[in-house]
Structure 1
């Protein structure tokens, strides 16, 4: 089969290595950082050659194909070398997809993709044999090897889409596109938009693209760059003939003159953005012939995603909410929009070129105090300093929560919604969210 080099010994890298070995490839895993012990053990157990703390270039440049972890940017010198040599560079999603005939639902977007993917999977699994992979849980490659489901719901990031060639989901979903990760796209929003739209680039008219028709970025891009797939938009603002829209308190979905009506009162998840996530998931379920009753029941009992507007505890009539997964401004916009009480807002981390202006109306209307939790909080203090009475800086989660406890009054919310990446003080957004929850439980 050839020689595959895997760059990055994380979940997607090790999953790809296992699948490739099973398919007869010679495999070498190389990570410039240190590979976690749990992954090292898997590589050793499966007799897959690996190295960490370095890249052996001579060996790597002999590859027939390179799978690179989504975390490695294109501008790294080694990646440039590999490309100059004409060695194909693919993502895990691209590599794995060639080994399955399963029906694939691919979900991308700046926000909402984890909730939409989890909700879609939750509905489909009631009646279908279906896996959930991509940016969630076990890697797609590993699931293909171990489970080989007939259907997959994949949460796919723009970084994974950057390195596809032939990957094609039968049903693609774009939840929304707002500026994020611009540091990886030469600070050109247009490059990031194109990257997201690659999810539909190999689709034909027999495939479907589900998208937010209220998102001007998506609508304008489609106008100027038409796709071949059958379009099924969803909207809260306009009537949609083929697709989903909101009529009074009902989601109305029409596909090929078949109509489905779902009351939004049955949604367990609150907030306008979750009505949209439900529209997208319902559209997928309807395309895959899931019964109406099943869809309705699934929407009613879906529990939501950890670290996404997750109610932690109520202490002295103050609700503590963990939204650590809000790693960009748009996600925090949704969080603040759904607050219905005065809010103490914990924000900060690694700023990816954020523009906070769209949050100003909520700050004036709902936020009573701001706690900046980051190594460098200067931009936050300069931006919001004049808008609230209390603005405090800290670099410790326990301290942030203690300050919030002092500032909040009965009936208030304390919201962790950082609008930034977590890598300055935490391992990842999950670590940040768990530290928040632990600090709240220890109050």
Structure 2
């Protein structure tokens, strides 16, 4: 086996000179932008994915992630700074291996680390001395040291001597054009001082700002804290929305006035429910881990309950509006849901509340279609299998008028909201989009 000093010195030199080959496992919303940022910094990158269609598309110059334009991908391919593969034996040629795989929840809302565990075992099968292995997937504090590290060491490699292990939480925000991977500060940590130094050196070559913390568990806690903060505050305004609705007060007007205070307040906005991979899921990683210490996480669990109840509340408001304004039951109504993606201007439907809204309308006997300029067809999902294959309907005046109600679930910028207001029999707006566009009509109801 190569001597520890030689492995560490060689790895440090290759990172400093940017000749280290970097392997990025998982070429989705996190992994592919990271791979491009690393390649842009001058490192040769090999992207890995178990879905053979992704490497095939990328190697042909076709990106499926908006944050990675085809032109950028083509440039990195032409300069031989990036190539993708489904052959994980190529991990042996990598000096740095970064893991960006999903960390979902089970049906019982417990952490599902199957992707992390399976990937760690794959890495262990192809490891060699002198590699830096980094986990970026969001998870509970202790995962890197208590789950990943033992798997790698079981293959005969000692952390801090033969292999170096670190954690750096991803901070991607799909659709946010104000930030990109290289401009978002990167929290980094390592298992021991050598790993920590390597982490700072590697990410320092890729992003503008590196934020070192004391250990992997702390770095894991940073990511959870960021998402718990958002989940709890969104739950607060969702609860206030329900309370103020009963009082005849517009929550959106309240927030806009409150945000003029220059200190002590930060605006969060209500909606039809939480979507995306992070906020609906990550807080429950902490609630699960806290049980090990017999400590309750009442705030987090209550926030989850409030946010999870929002789709049902919205459909209830829809039913009330149909009955009050049109004298029509939801069970006899056709509803058009605007926006299937979980947030505006992206094609990402992970955990999207729109899927639940469609199901709830149909559970109550209604019929539901959707329109989304970014999502042409509903793909296979674990929780909403019956919706697979449904296609976005065109948004034409005659089509809008054919529905009994239009439900605004996602406020994409490219939607003709004036046309919706002009032709819809009833509009239920969960995003305050009509007020923001200064569009008024007697048929618009906020929910």
TM band (smaller chain): 0.3 to 0.5
Instruction: Using structure 1 for the length normalisation, give the TM-score.
Output: 0.38
Larger radius of gyration: 2
Which is strand-richer, 1 or 2? Answer: 1
